Amino acid sequence: MRESKIWMATSSQHKYAEARDILADFGVQLERIQVNRIEIQSDDPADIVVYSLRQLKDDGRPMVMEDAGLFLERYGGFPGPYSSYALEKLDNPGILKLMEGVEDRRASYQSAVAIRTGEDIEVFRGFVWGKISRSIKGTVGFGYDPIFIPDEGDGRTFGEMSEEEKNAISHRARAFRSLGAWLTGSEEGF
């Protein structure tokens, strides 16, 4: 597959900016379009993006969607793909309240990126393991970034890292690097 320009259907400027920066490293230009989409309820972000892509009218452009979530080990993966809803209702202080007195603070951020080219849909996943901090730290990023400490880091939350530091290890960056490698036929990213 050799694509130099693709489109991302998202309402999130933050997700788009992260994806655009990652794909630029592969020489792939990412454009953004706003769409109203039906988001099914599923425990797997890949099911959500594949379903959503199938609902979009195919206008011949390669189209990408991404879904991600924060998965708390202590709560069986909650909020997972329901992370946007949980963030809206609880916000980071609510998640920290939920984790009060909990010793098992292990968590993962997971991302699923799907691309539709014609009838074909390919899915790429990215994972990063870490833990939930005991307080909100940092003002960079969005979502759960100020309470997620990646295992591969130096003890800081994603909210305390620069965009470049986060993009070196984040779940979304890993999924989009795999997409970029697939689009350009390179081995980088896998």
Q: What is the 3-state secondary structure (H, E, C) of the chain?
A: CCCCEEEEECCCHHHHHHHHHHHHCCCCEEEEECCCCCCCCCCCHHHHHHHHHHHCCCCCCCEEEEEEEEEEHHHCCCEECCHHHHHHHHHHHHHHHHCCCCCCCEEEEEEEEEEEECCEEEEEEEEEEEEECCCCCCCCCCCCHHHEEECCCCCCCHHHCCHHHHHHHCHHHHHHHHHHHHHHCCCCCC
The single residue of 21, 25, 47, 67 carrying the catalytic annotation is 67
User: Tens of pLDDT along 106-136?
Assistant: 999 999 999 999 889 999 999 999 999 999 9
Of residues 122 and 190, the one with the higher pLDDT is: 122
Position 70 pLDDT exceeds 80: yes
Domain of residue 70, residue span = 5-184
How much is the pLDDT for 63?
95
Does the residue 10 lie in any domain? yes
- CB atoms closer than 10 angstroms to residue 181: 16
CATH code, domain with 123: 3.90.950.10
Does the residue 41 lie in any domain? yes
Question: Considering the entire predicted model, what is its pTM?
Answer: 0.91
User: Tens of pLDDT along 15-65?
Assistant: 999 999 999 999 999 999 987 766 788 889 999 999 999 988 888 899 999
How much is the pLDDT for 101?
95
Does the residue 152 lie in any domain? yes
Share of the chain above pLDDT 90, in %: 78
Asked whether the beta carbons of 21 and 176 are under 8 A apart, the reply is no
| Known active-site residue 59 | no
The mean of the pLDDT values for the chain is 92
At residue 187 the predicted structure's pLDDT band, cuts being 50, 70 and 90, is low
At residue 190 the predicted structure's pLDDT band, cuts being 50, 70 and 90, is very low
Does the residue 29 lie in any domain? yes
Q: How many domains does the chain have?
A: 1
Does the residue 190 lie in any domain? no
Does the residue 189 lie in any domain? no
Position 188 pLDDT exceeds 90: no
Does the residue 63 lie in any domain? yes
